[in-house]
Every structure is written in structure tokens, then in C-alpha cells.
Amino acid sequence: MQTLTVNTPSHAYPIFIGTDLAKRADAVLKPYLGSSRAVIISNETVAPLYLAQWQRALDQIGCAHFSIILPDGEAYKNWETLNLIFDGLMQNRAERKTTLLALGGGVIGDMVGFAAAVYQRGAPFIQIPTTLLSQVDSSVGGKTAINHPLGKNMIGAFYQPQAVIADLGCLKTLPPREFSAGMAEVIKYALLGDADFLSWLEQHITALMAQEPETLAYAVEHCCRMKADIVAQDEKEHGIRAYLNLGHTFGHAIEAEMGYGNWLHGEAVAAGMVLACRLSEQLGCLKTADTERVMRLLKAANLPIEPPVFTSEKWITHMQHDKKVENGVMRFVALESLGKACVLNDVNKEQLTAVLEPFLPN
């Protein structure tokens, strides 16, 4: 088991990375509970696989518990499902110090974190991410949210967990498409801040896709370390944390237009990163060969490299709801070079149209 620490102004907390971590509840769970009572919140897909082992873990450390099981999918990341969490908490008389355990992928982690942020004005929660995407990205850093029909993650709060418990064994039951979606976020880290890691990924992509244990453990640890470092410097995204949104402005537009869940988040981010590279080309920062290098890596991870076709008006409408918009101006994360990100405040319509032109209706 490896342990990293995320240091934020709110508080410091550990990330545990390993296998069979439920059997180490004394170390990874017990010290981070707010009281002797907890609730495990999961979904209909994950619960049959992993709920029982975490129930046993709570039993072993003498923590009373109950469970709330939600429907599975990005389409349910909304107010209605969030209220199912509050219903369960109220019906079971959860108190302010009752710890919420988020057992699932990014959707569960985001919703449970948001519920914890607002239930009785703040309850403790622990992330137990079960997907590659959530282990390397969404479970770390305290971003919690639900979607709105007009924009992804537009309603939420910054609220840090007490701990993150990333059990790599969970990835064995992950469908290949979901694993690939997580690889989009792994590749994102290389593009935004570590050219050496990009080279490492190119050399090890076959082993990663085969989930070779040591290679996978290194990739997860490296991404978590990068995320922890960025969050420590910029907890609430006033500066460099925005770099983590590489590909996301385009990607969120894809998700909103296609209907949440039809394109997985990582798939939309993958296509969005290619568009971000194309935008960087328009600005003279990247060469076509750089973009093609990114596309080869994404294809090796079985990810899409082209977005769906829809009108420029729809692209603009969705991107105007992006969280990075300031004073009505759209801001984009681009690349000065492979491994070095930047935020653009002055992208004009002509540059944006040139990037989107191949993917607009005839």
C-alpha cells in the first residue's frame, strides 16, 4: 500500500493506493470516521460487487452503518437522485458527524461529496473510488457537484474528503470502455504538466491497457501525486488548477449535447483534448505532428479522437455555460507545448470555427 498526502487550506488528508484495502480498515478507515456511525452510498452496479466487503470492514472496527443504493449512470447525477441521498440520511436519522462513504465512480463521488457538503451544513465523507477515472482524478481535490440540463457540474461545492481509498483490485471488474475512459484522464496529466510521463505512457500503453499490476499502480500513484500537488497550490481553482480542465470545455459540450451518459466523460474529454490541441495549433504553439502524437496515444487507449457532429451555435451555447467563463468571456485550456498547459482568454470566433469546422454539419 502506498500513501500520499493532500495538503489543502481546509485540511490535510491521505490517499491510500493498494489492493484488498477493505481488509486494512483499522488503518485506512477507522482514523478518518467522524463518529461510530457511517453510511455507505453506492449504486446498483457497484453495490453487488463491493458493498459487502466494506460492510464487513465497518463491522470489524465497530462502526454501526446503513446503506443507500442509487441508480447508476451520469444521467442520474441530478437533484432528484441527490434527494434520494437526503431521504436516506433523514430516514435513518444520520447526524452531523455520521460519515458518508462514497463507494463508486465519479458520479457517486461527486454526488456524495456534494450531499456531505450541505447535509446539516457539512458532514464528513470518505471517497472509495472504484473506477480508474475516479481513482486518478475526480476523487481527489474536493470538487463535488451535480449536473444541470444546460451544463455539467454547474451546481456544487468545494468540499474535501477525510480520506481517499483507491483499491486497484476494483479495476478488474471495470468494463473495458470504462477503463479506457479513465485512461483519458491519465493521458491528460501527461499533456498538461509532465512530458516525461507522456513518453512513459507511450512506452507502457500496452501494459496499462492489459492492467499489468505494477505499471497500473505506478500510473495511478503518479496521477494522484500530480493532482495532490496542484490542489495544494490552488484548492479552489483560482490559478493552475484550471489546467486540469484540459479538453473539458469541449468535452462538457459534447456530454451536454449528446445527453449525459451517452458519451462517457473520459470519451468526451479525449475528443476534447484533440480539439484543444487543434486550437493550440491555430495559435502556433503545437505542430500537427504533436497533435498526431496525442491522437495515436488516445487511439491506443481505445478512445475517440473526433467529436460528434453538431452546429457551431450548439457548441457555443454549451461552452458559454462552462465554469471557466469570466465576465462573459469563454476561457480555454490549451498547450504551449506537450507537457505544458496554459489558459487562453482571447480565443476569437475565427480560431474556434477553424477548430470545429471539420465537425460541423454540411
CATH number of the domain encompassing residue 287: 1.20.1090.10
- The pLDDT value recorded for residue 320 is 85
Grid cell in block for residue 8? 489543502
pLDDT at 142: 93
Q: Which of 235, 237, 255, 281 is catalytic?
A: 237
Active-site annotation holds for 318: no
Rounded (10°) CA dihedral 68, 72, 76, 78: 40
CA distance 10 to 47: 31
Tell me if 117 sits within 8 A of 159, measured CB to CB.
yes
Q: 154, 173, 192: which is the final residue of a domain?
A: 173
User: What is the rounded CA–CA span in Å between residue 275 and residue 279?
Assistant: 6
268 and 120 together in one domain: no
Distance between CA 130 and CA 166 in Å, rounded?
A: 7
The catalytic residue among 152, 188, 227, 323 is 227
- CA distances 214 to 13, 165, 218, Å, are 24, 18, 6
Which strand (E) or helix (H) includes residue 277?
helix 265-282
Q: Do 77 and 17 share a domain, yes or no?
A: yes
Low pLDDT (below 70) residues in the chain = 327
Instruction: Give the pLDDT confidence score for residue 205 in this predicted structure.
Output: 98
Q: What is the DSSP string of 49-84?
A: HHHHHHHHHHHHTT-EEEEEEE--SGGG-SHHHHHH
**What is the 8-class DSSP label of residue 309?**
P
185: annotated active-site residue: yes
Active-site hit among 74, 178, 185, 235: 185
Same domain for 169 and 185, yes or no, is no
Contacts of residue 258, Cβ cutoff 8 Å, sequence gap at least 6:
268, 308
Task: Clarify whether 238 is annotated catalytic.
Answer: no
What pairs with residue 42 in β-bridges? Answer: 69
Q: Are residues 79 and 133 in the same domain?
A: yes
- Domain of 188 in residue numbering reads as 176-359
Same domain, 167 and 220: no
Catalytic residue check, 121: yes
One of 65, 152, 222, 265 is an active-site residue; which one? Answer: 265
pLDDT at 331: 85
Instruction: Please confirm, yes or no, whether 30 is among the known catalytic residues.
Output: no
d(CA 355, CA 191): 19
**Per-residue model confidence (pLDDT) at position 352:** 87
Whether 313 is catalytic is no
pTM attached to this predicted model? 0.92
Residue 163 backbone dihedrals phi, psi, to 5 degrees:
-165, 160
Whether 16 and 137 map to the same domain: the answer is yes
Last-in-domain residue among 173, 195, 227: 173
C-alpha cell at 15: 490517499
Question: How many whole angstroms separate alpha carbon 144 and alpha carbon 214?
Answer: 30
Reply yes or no on whether 296 is catalytic.
no
Looking at the structure, tell me whether residues 345 and 332 fall in a common domain. yes
The pLDDT mean for the chain works out to: 95
Residue 132 three-state SS: helix
Please indicate, yes or no, whether residues 167 and 210 belong to a single structural domain of this protein. no
- CATH code of the domain covering residue 69: 3.40.50.1970
Q: Which among 241, 287, 324, 340 is annotated as catalytic?
A: 241
DSSP 8-state class, residue 329:
B
pLDDT 10s digits, 288-343: 999 999 999 999 999 999 999 999 899 988 988 777 777 677 889 999 999 999 99
Residue from 152, 178, 245, 323 carrying the catalytic annotation:
245
Q: What are phi and psi of 276, to 5 degrees?
A: -65, -40
Residue 133, SS3 per DSSP: helix
**Same structural domain for residues 14 and 163?**
yes
| pLDDT tens digits, 60-102 | 999 999 999 999 999 999 999 999 999 999 999 999 999 999 9
Indicate the number of domains in the chain. Answer: 2
What distance in Å separates the CA atoms of residue 107 and residue 67, rounded to the nearest whole number? 17
Is 204 a catalytic site residue?
no
